[in-house]
Every structure is written in C-alpha cells, then in structure tokens.
Amino acid sequence: MIRVLLVDDQRLVRAGLRMLCESAPDMDVVGEAENGQQAIRLAEQVAPDVVLMDLRMPVVDGTAATARIRASRPAVRVVVLTTFDDDDHLFPALAAGACGFLVKDATPDELLAAVRSAAAGETPYSPAVLRRLVDQAVRARLGEATAATLPASLTARERDVLALVGAGLSNREIADRLHLGVTTVKTHVTNLLAKTGTANRIRLALLAAQSGLVTEA
C-alpha cells in the first residue's frame, strides 16, 4: 500500500486528490496539510511514501517544505503539483529534492500513475512542463559565455540518447528514433545518470540543454 500525504492550501483540491487516491486499491491517504509547516510536521508523524506537494502556499512554501521533509526523511518521494505560472519555482523545488512534477490539470490516470511511479523510485513528469523547463535552460545557456561540460567518457550513442532525453522523449520514443531496444535505451539512461552524477531523468534533460545538445522548440 502506497502511503500518500496531500499538501495544498485549497480544500477543494485536497478533497479531489483524496477521492482520487482513495479510489485506487493500492493507495492510502495518510494525511492532509494546507501549508508547508503542517506538511513538515505530518511527514514526521504519518511517514508517507509519496507527498503530493503544492508550491505556492502560506506560512511555509512547497519548496522549503520539500527540503525539510527530504532532509529528515530522505526516502520520502515528493511530487510537485504545478501550474503554468509555477514554472519559475520548479528549478528550486527540484534542487530541494522533489523527484518529479505533474500539472494540476492532469488526468486521474496520469496522477495515479505518477504516484505509483514515484513510489517505485522513478521520475514522474508532465512532458509539456519538462519542455518548458528545457527551453528555459537553453535560453539561459545562450546568455552565458560557456556551456555545461559533459564527461569525456560519454560514448557517441550516449550523447544521442542524452539529446533525446533533453527533447522530452520517452524511452520507447528514443528506442524508435534510434532503432534500439527499449531495454538498451534504459541501460544508456542508467549509464548517463551514473556518468554525469545527475539524480534523475529531469536533471539529465536539463543537463542536455545546458550542454548545448538541445535547441529551443
């Protein structure tokens, strides 16, 4: 059973999330918080596996709450719930330890899949939001004198895969584009994470943009 903590300052949003998560046979909502301060306290009390975290809240915001929760309970997986206006807050949230992000208007199936993905140690994300983040990283790189440096140990194929990760493609899409097996792509992604020292697929995509492997859409 996946233990889920809901964090959002809007009661109706929390109610909708609770109904959705509790409709799933493998999820249990163990608490609700209306601000980051409550979330930090509840995370200690109820020991969730996954936290669905709003970013803009009173008292303590979602980024600060994410950092505090991850500092005290590193195994907790935090998935940020975002809107278009939150894009500028996503980089700090990821730096604070969020494992992924999902738009608030995601479908019920997408949200439940994101919770399961996070609980399994994966990196759930909304492709459209990732594309916007990558575009921001590209624009930032173009305004700097130097680009991020990739490890010299990367193979040509790994660079190809990295560029497509940065473009927001899934493993299946990368496999089709490069005429590889999905398992082979997964292996390349695993090797890229290890060689670049990045924590997850989202950070890998941002590195691809910052290193010049991705052009703005």
Distances (CA, A) of 200 to 76, 114, 197: 15, 15, 9
Band (135; pLDDT cuts 50, 70, 90): confident
Contact of 5 with 33, CB cutoff 8 Å: yes
What is the pTM for the complete model shown? 0.86
φ, ψ of residue 137 to 5 degrees: the values are -65, -40
Mean pLDDT along residues 52-59: 94
Q: Residue 183: pLDDT above 50?
A: yes
Taking the C-alpha atoms of residue 31 and residue 13, their distance in angstroms, rounded to an integer, is 14
Mean pLDDT along residues 8-16: 96
Burial class (CB in 10 A: 0-12, 13-18, 19+), 102: buried
Domain 131-210 -> CATH class: mainly alpha
Domain ranges (residues) in the chain: 2-125, 131-210
Fold of 2-125: Rossmann fold (3.40.50)
| Average pLDDT across the chain, whole number | 92
Q: What percent of the chain has pLDDT over 90?
A: 76
